[in-house]
Amino acid sequence: MTDSPVKAPGTAPGLSVLLQHTAEAVRQVQQGRSLAEGLPDVPAPLRPAVQALTFHALRHLGLARALVDRLADRSPEPVVQALLVAAVALLVAPADGVRYAPHTVVNQAVEAARQQRRLQRQAGFINACLRRLLREQTDLMAEVADDPPARHHHPRWWIDRVRRDHPQDWAAVLQASQEPGPMTLRVNRRRIDRSAYALRLAEAGMASLPTGEDGLVLARPCAVDSLPGWTDGLVSVQDAAAQMAAGLLLQGQDWGPQHRVLDACAAPGGKTAHLLERADVQVLALDADADRARRIGDTLQRLQLQARAQVKVADAADTAAWWDGQPFDAILLDAPCTASGIVRRHPDVRWLRREADVAALAAQQRRLLEALWPLLRPGGRLLYATCSVFRAEGEDQVQAFLARHTDARQHPSAGHLLPGAGRPVGQFNDNPPGGHDGFFYARLDKPAA
């Protein structure tokens, strides 16, 4: 998902209609349903504007909920609270690209309630709460200023963990999650040179700047099908941090068709494709979910790389079910994680996760590492990656693995990459325009016998 512009006031559809759908999306997130599941239910013509308003509400959910708690004498039912949250977020933190007049937000929120049978009786209550906010906003903001979720826009446990894991950078990490991530492209070097593609973008009126080895950061996001050569496989959308995987796994060695590479948790296929764009290797791409595995095939087909990879539906940790007994020269393990490093692109993640998820996912990561390490030949390498800023899913996980495996050596690699334009941790110093997502990388080498 990428951020989309909000339609200006006075254009169809009206703000009241957008607020109805935004409130429903916020309510679902607060009850545990992701935006990836909920937004497709929104009518297609409304979806871009509703997504933008929902992203905005979720980026300010901590503050908006704290204010609603003070505005309401009683705890409103979830559907009412969600509508109040959506309106309050617009009143105290105007959305990028459009500023609604305060009275417009109040009137349209009340109208949104009146248009829904289940909320008609709550219209007066919503009106009273929002008008009180307009009258007392300075005092109310002062009351919540020291509340961590209201101030930093994340759950308290998340704030505490980031502060403990990154004591020098924690505030910058949290702030970076509030900023929309740039649209970053990866040029398919098998099809076109990066500078040549940048020229094609310029000819189409799209300004860009280079990042990394194959990336271009767009000055403004756009629909993917408007990108020159998209359907012909000239380019993909992939964050600058995610683009590092192929280079870190392949660096320092000549690769050819005799080399076998495993992409263990491959969907939707961006890293699989990047490996094939950069090297003539055999790639086996796995994913445990059949629908997600089909996305790998779709990605490879669009990039005209499908003939050079095998895709299987399998749990990578259940090696007896899929491994043919032949060792791999390299393994990419982009392990399931909390996604705490990509919150700027997925603002619902911070509100969907629970503190217990960190330990549960760390256990799953350990299970995958233990299962895949024996499949690596002596002299081979494994790149462990997560899109997380939590040390439990990064450096702590790797150090525990090294303590258990005396046959593993950690090669200098990126370590923890902090999101946005904050100071990276480790040996990664490239800072692309608009920054990068939060990631962790560690390359583990198995010495030759």
Which active-site residues does the annotation give? 387
The token pair at 281 is: 């290797």
Task: State the Cα–Cα distance between residues 201 and 227, nearest whole angstrom.
Answer: 8
Please name the residues in contact with 275: beta carbons below 8 A apart, sequence gap of 6 or more: 246, 249, 250, 261, 263, 281, 283, 332
Can you say whether the dihedral through the CA atoms of 121, 125, 131, 134 is positive or negative?
negative
276 neighbors 299 (Cβ within 8 angstroms): no
With contact defined as beta carbons under 8 Å apart, do 335 and 382 qualify?
no
Question: Tokens 């200006």 belong to which residue?
Answer: 8
Cα torsion for 361, 365, 366, 368, to the nearest 10°? 140
Continuous segment of H or E residues that includes residue 340: none
CA dist., res. 120 & res. 110, Å (int): 9
> Residue type for 220, please?
R
CA–CA separation, 369 and 363 (whole Å): 10
Residue spans of beta strands (DSSP E) within 255-319: 260-263, 282-287, 309-313
Q: What are the residues whose beta carbons fall under 8 Å from the beta carbon of 204, sequence distance 6 or more?
A: 226, 228
Q: How do strand 282-287 and strand 309-313 relate by DSSP bridges?
A: parallel
Residues 248, 413 contacting (CB under 8 angstroms): yes
Closest CA to 17 of 41, 50, 39: 50
Instruction: Quickly tell me which residue has 């303590």 as its tokens.
Output: 403
160 by Cβ neighbours in 10 Å (0-12 / 13-18 / 19+) ranks as middle
